[in-house]
Structure 1
């Protein structure tokens, strides 16, 4: 139907959609059936209404159709070619946009956009996350890096985040920007509300923009536009007092306003906050996500190296499928913890199978690359460092001897003895001796080092546990309160700083009566108690590698065991927490009050970091948070100082009055009804009941977190060295396959390109400094140099032609950039 309204150039773009939650209050199989049903209905409506246009995102949902109903899939392809079925988003799913690591967003686009290009011939340019619970500040850079120009979102709502207009330029910290739109009202609109929404939107269209988007259609469980929707819009099209009303799609809307976009305001900020409880709801799914992200990135690196070194082909398709499984479970209602228990049972099964596949890729690749073996032959090991810089790390091995042996000598390839700490000895006349040792190993960048264990005649007595109230290393002097087990003091000997303002490492219990989302909650401050010491503070081990201190405690029906590790060679103070949690509608945090003034708080975000007000609000984070400021010492001497708190699986925390608190868990009722809890919770299932485990680490540092290179420290904390038996010579086991400098740059990706021929490197600048990046690749016999700008994510495409290698800057879609930085490639000797 031709729009009959001639009033000016103002336009209302009506976006017909059916938001589909791929899992939420239903399992994925039910969502798949709804996707099929909704798609068939949409095609029927297109036959009845020639001007009707439909918008749909999420490659995973299209893949469901392709596999379940090829005929329906072909019908959709036809409508896409006609321009009536419009593809938006370009990502595998609509994920949580706070919790996944930065690389996951690039993979959402890489696999999603490639799918749409391959199956439909469509290059998607508009990002589309209409139901996600907030959007991190680096996303504009990641969108542009993946060749996307626009972004559509609805949350946070206007009451949660004030923006200058519905349409604006959204800019990341590196200067990248996209045209973003938060349309008015909601992505689900009933037929009864459409008329009122159109009238209200017509009054608010900004003249310098001239257009507005309005969404309509039944959503969440699919459904989409109805005949009543479409007929109502057609009636409104006849009114001459309204702007032009057009059945359309987001990309057409952005194309319309782009010529006038120079007048739009710029927002350089996160688009936060909505449902702050989601950062910490359902610990297991979040642990799965962190662990598999790192394992997949390591699998890509080591399989790429194995192909270059030994010719063993990278299993590109298996890696792609593993990524797609992880990306699917980053869907916002799954990863946020806001789905029913059955969804997480399905997730556990799928992610376990994925882990088996990924572990198999890692194992086979390391064996092909290094000459290691997966079965015991001799007491020789190869230790593989997954990060692209040299590091010192504590390594643990189990040594076996056929006879009775009580002590061990450990050597490297040069025969140099490495001091070891023996913490377990088991001897059985029929089975021999099993000795568990730990030591501090200096590991080459993204490479390996070999070690050999031989019997030693030294008779070292077993360490005897003892109760302590203090403990001292070369770095720190810790004092414990014997009454409650808290750390009373941490004295930083090197910097002459009393780190804590009050006792720290306190397990705080808070009242948390909210739903799984934590709707409308800004902060969690209702403290109702804390864990109390249950026994003594016990020194369990003290040797050449580490000291191990145990603190057992109890709250109500819940128990906790904290194991504190202090190292001879590392400034980290590590904590391993096991909790048997039996509380309901409560939250657990660990708190460290830091002795600083004039402080500021920084939280890691995906491929970046962000300063936020230190007012106690619950904040999203990734692997670390930091408080830095001024320490006032004796005689009023001031010095710049800070403390970082690292973690291996958590995503929420807060800072207030110089106290850092990492959120360990929440135990709300599993999602049942959206934003509505029943008065009587009897018989309902609560989250995070039973055993929970988390590792966290405290790193006090002089100056700011940048000078302490905390991003690298946190990345390494989440990337433990891998150990394998070695059947070859030790000296052949030592190698560095890839190294990146300087220290403010982190390499996250080295992989086989999706074209099956080239290679991809990706890194990002972490500390806000212009730098010249140097990447040494002895396996290529080349060194690559390229500038990187503050906070920039950069990808490099390496091409191989015989023994010659060339490199160009590329996008996240692995396409060369026409205006990319010049990449300098030089030959180096094979190491």
Structure 2
């Protein structure tokens, strides 16, 4: 029987390929073809329709990389009586939907019809305006997107940048004509594909497999290969009984939802994503017209906004399908963002901006946070999801783990504050399913909750511009709705799936803490300028909102609602999970750098305008404006006051043979002739911080060629080879005054150069390190190492609105897999009574290791990841000049790490003023950190304050406003009143909060007028 099976399978494969599929369409009329090649970037539709077109023909080359060609097709519509379709092949490779040429068809009046892509290359003639016997005219905007992710995805390419991509055409128009679709033959294709796939998944001993194989054999026997259309119905009848045999009562249930995962930027620029979204939405709405059972989910409010702003006609069709319950907004975020690196307030705004768009534009409150492809998930997310008013979380990416298989597909995810979120990982292990038999069988076999749950979710459709779901996928869904040997497939909404899954599995297992992806660890470091632009933008936005709100209340200065809203959306867009992580083509990252520069300039202007208004007419004295949570230099937190002298003595510096010593009475730092820190003695604790025999601020190089996904990955073997940069071109004491002392260290290596300033200030124990790198290495990893005399089994990393502890040992494979970790403004290691923090203003990647010392003791080495140099997809990644700022904070508790992390990111501002500026709000407990002060988004004039408990302990805090207030309410992230969870008392004079560990609270202070 084994040989019979193979013979039948081979026979099915060849007959499908050579006879049945080609018979689905019968050519009935050619098209006349003309073309206009847009001279540069894409043009408006009206301009293209009015252009001068030239004759063209099949076989013609078109489309330099990133170019756009407009084709005009004309022809007389025959009166065939069947379903007529225009079938256009722009030069597609059907093996690569979503990564090459695409098109969008328009009627002559500019009405969009439908997208064209490798496996979705037809247009209904009727939808194009064609009637039998009449002349048909339509246009196709064809995008010559180059193939960057080819069969060898690791080859550096110049195609990722317009300036280097070249001008030679990439594509050849293969064919274009009117064809008649034979629905019976198309149905036969679906019948055979489903049954053949099913038989291949069934075990050899199962009777069902033999039954299906024999039915397929009989069907092929009845098929006349010389007249497939005439014999297709007879062949189908041979398959009817096996298709009608119902699924087992215990069959797994798959909730299938149409999907088209579209990266908002990746191997294409943002402007191309705008067009990808339009093509996909046009496809989806056209398919919904034909298949009323079809439902489709689309996330990323930004992509919906692009439709609204750039393709309003498609957006209107989408809204019509939203009202019909077919086109479903999901996600509740502005984009499918990275969740490791965005700051706390940025994550809050991802939800507030995303959910508010869906509410305002569609009247829909989304309930599912939809992040199938982000590179790991912060433990702060469950609380933020709940505070946004959503109740479910979905991802698939953890199935990519290199080392450990995640043990659940349906579970309760517990965040750092204790909030639990019902979560699902589709066991089908893809967010681009085609609903094929191997995929469905894998989902069933892989599902971890058998015996407790009975269902999982399947997102299906070609992504990234591949056209989304197809009618062929819907045909497979229909045939597997109740089919023996297959799981039951039902097209239904994510909301229906989650409600049913939660109802049958109310006591799902709990996973506490982050969902760490054991893969793509290099994304914490790649494209340093993108990451620094994000960090700087987040903190400038904090300042802009704080000072603008303060100026509005104190001086009547107009609050820049529109500007701040627009800027936030730019920042949120660039937190997309292939932009901020540094895994896009050069075009994307160069554009991000320009955007961040524009954002910084605009925010500095907003801040300057507000600070100037608050300072008054100038003169008087120098006021220090402090936007950090805790006071320093005399300035109150979130306010301004005259500068005062720092506490403690002056800085003393000595340069002698073999080194330089800096001393401010709090710490004594020794820098040797190599420019390395051989001693940092905490004079307050009478304790050495640098490990015996070691040197800190040691720059180290590693070769960096991961096995896969260059910009995304660092593999553990990179640590096997290391070069310590101990040679120095210069070590010099360059500043010695009572306020500060600085040592300059210059090093050259390879084709690169590093200049560092090591700085000790009066009144501060922090050793500040400014690093300038002129980087011209390739496939190399640069780290800064700090070997510390600390014995600990864990490190503590700041994340959004709190921190997480991670093992510093490798007891288990789960521990060992976290060899590169993400931290925000600080990473802390400590013993019960003494700790050290490494704070930074520019970086995210870190690693922490421990080593025993001869004679006893443990060295804990904290390293900051500074630069990488992967060559794919951007061969120029990180080349050029970079600036980094970090500081070592000896004797730091977690509270100190929090404070110093904010301070290094929020330098004080000064302005000549006449009187101090009181903070809008004051908090009496330093554990409660004010994260944002702003005016309410609804423009009521109310003041919104977001704060959180920062130490992982309970805290009681009173927050006092310095302005008249009518009421104080606790709200969700969208600034809507909610039942109090922390607010215990509220009067016009202030509010008292009882905070859980890491609890985030948003307060709204009502104001009259």
**So what's the TM-score if we normalise by structure 2?**
0.68
Question: Superposed, which structure 2 residues align to 1:169-248 within 5 Å?
Answer: 169-189=412-432, 191=434, 194-203=436-445, 204=447, 206-248=450-492
Partner of 2:69: none
Partner of 1:284: 529
Is residue 614 from structure 1 mapped to residue 808 from structure 2 by the alignment? yes
Question: Superposed, which structure 2 residues align to 1:334-733 within 5 Å?
Answer: 334-371=579-616, 380-391=621-632, 441-450=633-642, 468-482=659-673, 484-501=674-691, 502-514=694-706, 515-519=709-713, 521-522=715-716, 524-615=718-809, 617-629=819-831, 640-657=833-850, 658-671=860-873, 685-701=875-891, 705-706=893-894, 708-726=895-913, 729=914, 732-733=915-916
Instruction: Determine which structure has more spread, i.e. the larger CA radius of gyration.
Output: 2
The CA distance in 2 between the partners of 1:629 and 1:265, in whole Å, is 33
Q: Which has the higher strand share?
A: 1
The CA distance in 2 between the partners of 1:507 and 1:777, in whole Å, is 47
Q: Secondary structure at the match of 1:299?
A: helix
The CA distance in 1 between the partners of 2:872 and 2:455, in whole Å, is 41
The CA distance in 1 between the partners of 2:829 and 2:665, in whole Å, is 24
Partner of 2:496: 252
Contact 2:654/2:662 (<8 A) preserved: no
For the structure 1 residues 613 and 517, does the alpha-carbon distance in structure 2 shift closer, same or farther, using more than 3 Å as the test? farther
Q: Secondary structure at the match of 2:384?
A: helix
Superposed CA RMSD in Å reads 2.5
User: After superposition, what is the alpha-carbon deviation per residue over 1:302-324, rounded to whole angstroms, capped at 9, x for unaligned?
Assistant: 11111111222211121111100
Is residue 263 from structure 1 mapped to residue 454 from structure 2 by the alignment? no
Is residue 744 from structure 1 mapped to residue 927 from structure 2 by the alignment? yes
The CA distance in 2 between the partners of 1:625 and 1:132, in whole Å, is 23
Q: Displacement, 1:52?
A: 1.0
Q: Displacement, 1:200?
A: 3.3
Is residue 113 from structure 1 mapped to residue 355 from structure 2 by the alignment? yes
Contact 1:741/1:774 (<8 A) preserved: yes
The CA distance in 2 between the partners of 1:595 and 1:271, in whole Å, is 30
Contact 1:280/1:665 (<8 A) preserved: yes
Contact 2:711/2:872 (<8 A) preserved: no
The CA distance in 2 between the partners of 1:581 and 1:736, in whole Å, is 42
Q: Displacement, 1:219?
A: 1.1
Q: Secondary structure at the match of 1:333?
A: coil
- In the alignment, structure 1 segments of 5+ residues that lack a partner are 392-440, 454-462, 631-639, 673-684, 781-802
The CA distance in 2 between the partners of 1:822 and 1:464, in whole Å, is 54
User: After superposition, what is the alpha-carbon deviation per residue over 1:10-64, rounded to whole angstroms, capped at 9, x for unaligned?
Assistant: 5210121000011111111111111111111111111121211111111111111
The CA distance in 1 between the partners of 2:717 and 2:494, in whole Å, is 35
Q: Displacement, 1:262?
A: 2.0
For the structure 1 residues 382 and 822, does the alpha-carbon distance in structure 2 shift closer, same or farther, using more than 3 Å as the test? closer
Q: Displacement, 1:523?
A: 6.6
Contact 1:389/1:739 (<8 A) preserved: no
Partner of 1:165: 408
Q: Which has the higher contact order (CA 8 A, sep 6+)?
A: 1
The CA distance in 1 between the partners of 2:663 and 2:624, in whole Å, is 30
Q: Displacement, 1:290?
A: 0.3
For the structure 1 residues 343 and 775, does the alpha-carbon distance in structure 2 shift closer, same or farther, using more than 3 Å as the test? same
Runs of 4+ off more than 6 Å = 1-4, 463-467
Contact 2:660/2:733 (<8 A) preserved: no
Is residue 131 from structure 1 mapped to residue 373 from structure 2 by the alignment? yes
The CA distance in 2 between the partners of 1:593 and 1:581, in whole Å, is 24
The CA distance in 1 between the partners of 2:277 and 2:524, in whole Å, is 28
From 555, 564, 571, give the equivalent of 1:326: 571
Partner of 2:981: 820
Is residue 771 from structure 1 mapped to residue 918 from structure 2 by the alignment? no
For the structure 1 residues 80 and 183, does the alpha-carbon distance in structure 2 shift closer, same or farther, using more than 3 Å as the test? same
Q: Secondary structure at the match of 2:760?
A: strand
The CA distance in 1 between the partners of 2:430 and 2:305, in whole Å, is 23
Comparing 243-252 with 464-473, which one deviates more in the overlay? 464-473
Partner of 2:184: none
The CA distance in 1 between the partners of 2:717 and 2:413, in whole Å, is 27
Contact 2:923/2:960 (<8 A) preserved: yes
Contact 1:601/1:611 (<8 A) preserved: yes
The CA distance in 1 between the partners of 2:792 and 2:351, in whole Å, is 41
Partner of 1:147: 389
Q: Secondary structure at the match of 1:263?
A: coil
For the structure 1 residues 469 and 190, does the alpha-carbon distance in structure 2 shift closer, same or farther, using more than 3 Å as the test? same
The CA distance in 1 between the partners of 2:792 and 2:482, in whole Å, is 62
Q: Displacement, 1:386?
A: 0.8
Q: Displacement, 1:573?
A: 0.9
The CA distance in 2 between the partners of 1:520 and 1:553, in whole Å, is 25
The CA distance in 1 between the partners of 2:305 and 2:628, in whole Å, is 34
The CA distance in 1 between the partners of 2:872 and 2:670, in whole Å, is 40
User: After superposition, what is the alpha-carbon deviation per residue over 1:153-176, rounded to whole angstroms, capped at 9, x for unaligned?
Assistant: 112226445433211001112111
Partner of 1:427: none
Q: Secondary structure at the match of 2:398?
A: coil
User: After superposition, what is the alpha-carbon deviation per residue over 1:550-578, rounded to whole angstroms, capped at 9, x for unaligned?
Assistant: 11122222211111111220111101111
Q: Secondary structure at the match of 2:901?
A: helix
Contact 1:388/1:738 (<8 A) preserved: no
**So what's the TM-score if we normalise by structure 1?**
0.82
Contact 1:59/1:116 (<8 A) preserved: yes
Contact 1:276/1:517 (<8 A) preserved: no
The CA distance in 1 between the partners of 2:364 and 2:988, in whole Å, is 40
The CA distance in 1 between the partners of 2:654 and 2:662, in whole Å, is 15
User: After superposition, what is the alpha-carbon deviation per residue over 1:581-611, rounded to whole angstroms, capped at 9, x for unaligned?
Assistant: 1211101111011112244211111222111
Q: Displacement, 1:709?
A: 2.6
Contact 2:372/2:431 (<8 A) preserved: no
Q: Secondary structure at the match of 1:597?
A: coil
The CA distance in 2 between the partners of 1:291 and 1:710, in whole Å, is 19
User: After superposition, what is the alpha-carbon deviation per residue over 1:665-693, rounded to whole angstroms, capped at 9, x for unaligned?
Assistant: 11111416xxxxxxxxxxxx231112111
- In the alignment, structure 2 segments of 5+ residues that lack a partner are 1-186, 188-242, 646-652, 810-817, 851-859, 991-1009
Q: Secondary structure at the match of 2:505?
A: helix
User: After superposition, what is the alpha-carbon deviation per residue over 1:161-207, rounded to whole angstroms, capped at 9, x for unaligned?
Assistant: 5433211001112111111111123444454x621222333454624
The CA distance in 1 between the partners of 2:766 and 2:717, in whole Å, is 29
Contact 2:730/2:747 (<8 A) preserved: no
Contact 1:572/1:698 (<8 A) preserved: yes
Contact 1:546/1:568 (<8 A) preserved: yes
